[in-house]
Amino acid sequence: MATLVLTAVGAVFGPVAGIATGVIGFAGAQLFGAGGKSRQGPRLNDLAVQSSVYGTPLPRLYGMIRASGSVIWATDIRETAHRSGGGKGKPKTTTYSYAASFAVALSARPIRSVKRIWGDGKLMRSAEGSWIMAANMRLYTGLEDEAPDPLIASAEGPDAAPAYRGMAYAVFEDLDLTEFANHIPSLSFEVEADEAPVSAAAIIDDLGAITGLAPSLSPEEATPLRGFGIASGGSVRSVLETLATVDPLTILDDGTATAVSLRRIPDAIDLSRQDMGASWRIERGAPVARMTVERIAADQTPGEISIGYYDCARDYQTGLQRAHFGMGRRSERIELPAALMPGEAKALAERKMAEVSVRSVTSTIRLPYRALALRPGDLLRHPADGGLWRVTEMTVERMVVELALERMLQIPLTPSSAADGGRVAPQNGLANGETVLHVLDLPPLFDELPAVPRIWIAASGKEQGWRRADIALSLDSGGSWQSIYTATGGSVAGVTLTALGAGASTLWDDRNAVEVELDHEGMWLEGRADESLLAGANLALIDDELVQFGHVEQLGGHRFRLSRLLRGRRGTEWASADHEAGGRFILIEPAVTGVADLPVSRLGSSIRFRGTGPGEDPAAAEAVTLLLKGRALLPPSPVHVTASLLADGSVNVQWIRRSRQGWGGWIDGVDAPLGEESERYRVTLRQLGGSERIVDVSQSSCTHALADRLADGGDISRLSVAIVQLSAIAGPGMAAAADFVIDD
């Protein structure tokens, strides 16, 4: 007696109807895997981690999906030394930067393009192709006529360099590793493999082209997928089982070819009760029942099914959607390496949960030999309820056909409005845009005491996408350039829209206000309390005057009205006269304001600066020229100048010095710290209509003797005084001027 048993595999994954490997016989283990071994289908983490291990299977990508790929070629990391310093009072320093050239395989089948690129999770390139971080990349889409990459050819030799035809890959040349802690980053790519969403039918047909599987049947009924990736290196059968999560698949074999049908509702075969009843077996003294129906206990079925997927709404990060039903305590998870929206994944989980409930009911029927034409995967209309049932197993013995059936569910896959994929931290995908560079020759800003000329750098962009720029200077009128600073974050800058009247530096200026327009809507200003202003908050540069503002009124867009002002900060009262509209406005913030020290020998000379963003041609960047006056070295003007007539007819001129050091507060209540190598002043005396007399003194007073008054000529009752403190490095500081009437 012989018994023939045919089964349908894929009960867990869905209705993948098939026959044991030996029965199919056309591709064997190569196509459907060895029968006795466990199989692993494509998994979610297959595309998540960049690999460089020899023998790692290359992924086959479909639709639009994010993948990491494999490093297939690389040079040694290149080290470059940068030397600076060595001037007066500064040691020589050497810093190092690193770059690498390498190739990353993306897909074992051709692709159309690459959109976004991430390095160590940070966005490197926007979907529009704008580089956020500087990179030189060449993409090869996998066409059969592509030539070897020139860099690989130059390194390996023209005869030894592979062209990698039929495989999509990207070559990075001299990628700066500074942003990645000096290591080759783990890259991931948003790959557009196909022009439109794909389906199980398209994937099956692509695999069939390399395995001999016949074209899929009824492809128009397949559910569209936004993207799909196969990277596990498993058998075609394991891929089909994974695809069966989305669509019911039936494997058909006519003895000459094998094909996959995607018909959601195949033609059902109607059975009548008259067809049933054949039986030859006797169990417990009675013939086996011609039809049985069994139901699995509710607590024995899964109560939760979760679908793991790539979430398109969260930059293709792994997402999870769940569906719950019944009293089951078990939880089943299906890993689907497909790119989906949360609602689509939620609907899929709900449908799988419904299928579990429906398939908890099974049936066994026995038919006469006329039913030999039936096969596992066929749909029958059960005579008990008229519903659709699928044949899962077929046994033929003594001309009796015994069928094991499971009940079928046919519901459309519609996105669920209740799905929430969570949130992802937004990354700025806008283009960096043009860099706006302000080079500022200012007094000391942050309670430092420079010993060499110091300038401050405020860099930003005209567009919100600006992130960073390399700042370089040229000491030889553009003949050569030296990188001095990497600007990030962006300074808040713009222009004044209204005039700003003159204001005193010794009082709160509540009489004046100024309106400013910032460079773009991503910039913002906020008010501060008086205590915060006295501690240094909201310091800004308007033209050449340092101003603080306490009140901010938004006028719409990126326009603001500033009031409650403190004027002439850090000794810039000399620039607090009337300001016309159209002047520069720059918010001075330590976190985003760069600092550069320059050689003393460059005082009085013009220096060029330029800012170059990622991917921008340095030669195309507009240079900014600064005449270096060394204001960080210049002592501020003295204050409280007085002149009094002494008994001997001489005039005593006195003043109080100020210092470059100690703007934060009056520490000892006696005098400001000197802040210079020595205390020296230059006093210019001129009587009305008389000649000028210049006197250098080493204390904060000067005597204009009676004999000198008479010798200088002019009206000795009218005296003009100008006083500057002298810097040993930069010379005279800012002047304090006063006019006096000397009464005899």
pLDDT at 280: 52
Q: State the average pLDDT for the chain.
A: 84
DSSP 330-372: EEEEEEEEEEE-HHHHHHHHHHHHHHHHHHTEEEEEEE-GGGG
Q: Please give the average per-residue pLDDT across 683-703, as a whole number.
A: 96
pLDDT score recorded for residue 6: 54
272 — pLDDT class (breaks 50, 70, 90)? confident
The bridge status of strand 286-287 relative to strand 468-474 is unpaired
- With H, G, I as helix, E, B as strand and everything else as coil, classify residue 463: coil
Out of 250-264, 312-326, 573-587, which region has the weakest mean confidence (pLDDT)?
250-264
Helix ranges (H only) for 212-264 are 236-243
**Averaged pLDDT, 459-485:** 89
β-strands 330-340, 302-311 pairing: parallel
As a whole-number percent, the residues of the chain with pLDDT over 90 amount to 49
Is the pLDDT at 424 greater than 70, yes or no? no
Which domains does the chain show, CATH number per domain?
69-185 (no CATH), 435-627 (no CATH), 639-741 (2.60.40.10)
Of the listed ranges 46-50, 222-226, 346-350, 575-579, the one predicted with least confidence: 46-50
Look at 191-195, 200-204, 410-414, 722-726 and tell me which has the smallest mean pLDDT: 410-414
Check: CB of residue 579 under 8 Å from CB of residue 516. no
Predicted local confidence at residue 254, as pLDDT: 63
DSSP string, 581-636: TT-EEEE--TTT-EEEE--GGGTTSEEEEEEE-TT--GGGSPPEEEE---TTTSPP
Percent over 70 (pLDDT), the chain: 82
Instruction: Determine the average pLDDT of the residues in 300-305.
Output: 84
- Other CB atoms within 10 A of residue 313 CB: 17
- Residue 25 above 50 pLDDT? no
Each residue of 528-585: pLDDT tens digit? 999 999 999 999 999 999 999 999 999 998 999 999 999 999 999 999 988 999 999 9
Question: Comparing 332 with 326, which gets the higher pLDDT?
Answer: 332
Q: What is the pTM of this model?
A: 0.66
DSSP-derived letter for residue 659 is -
pLDDT of residue 434: 86
Q: 389: which residues sit within 8 A by CB, 6+ positions away?
A: 363, 379, 380, 381, 382, 405, 406, 407, 408
Rounded to an integer, the average pLDDT of 408-423 is 65
Residue 283 pLDDT: 58
Q: What backbone phi and psi angles, to 5 degrees, belong to 105?
A: -75, 130
Structure tokens at 115: 């959109």
Residue 98 C-beta-side C-alpha neighbours within 13 Å: 13
Tell me which residue has tokens 């990277």.
Answer: 231
